[in-house]
Structure 1
């Protein structure tokens, strides 16, 4: 199975909320007793500690190369639903980020160009992050390109390495606001989630202030830093912060429920969860584990004394033989699960 098919399978499963679980395990493998630590991912610079648009913080992240690969084969869909929680959870973040990329930035003058497969000089997008009223493009950019080509209807100002473009009242751009630096472009998500000019600018300015001053973000909290450190850089990621128990409507991607999938509210892993991140690193990724192996990682925070047992984690996240569980580590309020899946196992499972 090629990577693009796996991406499609993950996102299709996520859209149906196929949280029935199944990655395999090796019960004879020696389990770690300490949490594994990875590099803090670059996308951690943006999700805020306090929600701007929800009752909790939600964020999604994706490597844009894999989004383009999935687009190239849009008619070649997998024939079997993917039920692995450890795989579908990152796929949900991939899906919602892709949806905002295609449909949530429609009114911006660079929509359809920025992040496309044929970006002009001055744009080289590598990844996308969606979180709390803002959308972030990661890569290499020339701010002068945006000043010259995409500034009509905007007022410009400088903000510590960012050129901020603020929509002008009455010009059809009043609900738009974005900022450009040499390594990121940040846009207020519009227009459905942004009611007015002040809210768009407030969301953007808050994101920039947090990034520039390195305060007010999930990663600036000790527990939040641990979540990012325990899951590392990824090709796709889903994060929930201070959700205090995940419910069906928090992840609902469609109006109809799928009777063949497990109700989220019946899954003990998510019953009392406070915060979590699920990531997937695909083969050939710069941050991959090498060879033909994908790495799936899950880290979560719980109220003290309410951490699921190792048996529950194994049963609800990975009971089948799709991949090998390397580690399940828990303490009073933290959980980390790490697994690896080969392309051959992915191919066998999804075909």
Structure 2
């Protein structure tokens, strides 16, 4: 008889809990699912479930994240032709998650990655709102590469609004509407003149970054949430440290950065089990769609996104690690040459000389 190591036993227990939770959520839905039912399905104690996942919400997010990480699909050999083509391709890819006709409501919601009723607290709602804005920035930057020199974030916001509306209808009124009509509508959005300009009113009043000359030792490379590849944190450029309640400030660093800057957005949260998983779920889901549409090596202006769950990067930079953090530094030749904090920090650090 082969004896398992402690680590192997923990991995087996976690896998059993995830499998049982997936079955429970698919049968009963998030609201009606019970941790006791999950423990019974896994033939474990309630305590064994909680030793791996601190809450039902954390477990539900882990099930969704596991599905996103395991999702597969054809990857485009290159970017689609034209802006409308890119919008249509992204829309078709996103709509692959719509439930099948024979799915139960609970199983359909799981396929949709539905978060209805999951976050009913202020930190969760704030994180969701900020993640929606960050998703629009990432999609907008990818679309801008199809037709340069025009901001496309407002177009991305409209596309995501259309898609989440289609998802909500699939959840509440299954079978309503034709997905092909949704794709055609999204393609027509690309032809709208949205007068999209980048001119946040507060940026002219942001205090300049403070010049410094400080050595720092970056932590081990963290994986990019969009590509999965290690991020070289010592590269020249800007590192913006943003809490889950301040992710809407990411675009400020991107727009103010120099063409050759490496722009890294380091996401901070004091709740890695729930908000940390939420970040990985939403960004991983979007990144998977972008990869299938534009290819894994599409040369867009996307920033590097890392989740600094343990706060090691924030600590190395001498920055507080909270859900409300907004701070940024400019790195040159392995040294910190400028610092900024508070509203507009990413803009200030990106625009600093150094």
Q: TM-score, normalised by structure 1?
A: 0.24
Query: Going by fraction, where is strand more abundant, 1 or 2?
Result: 1
Report the structure number with the largest CA radius of gyration: 2
Larger RCO (CA under 8 A, 6+ residues apart): 1
Q: Which is helix-richer, 1 or 2?
A: 2
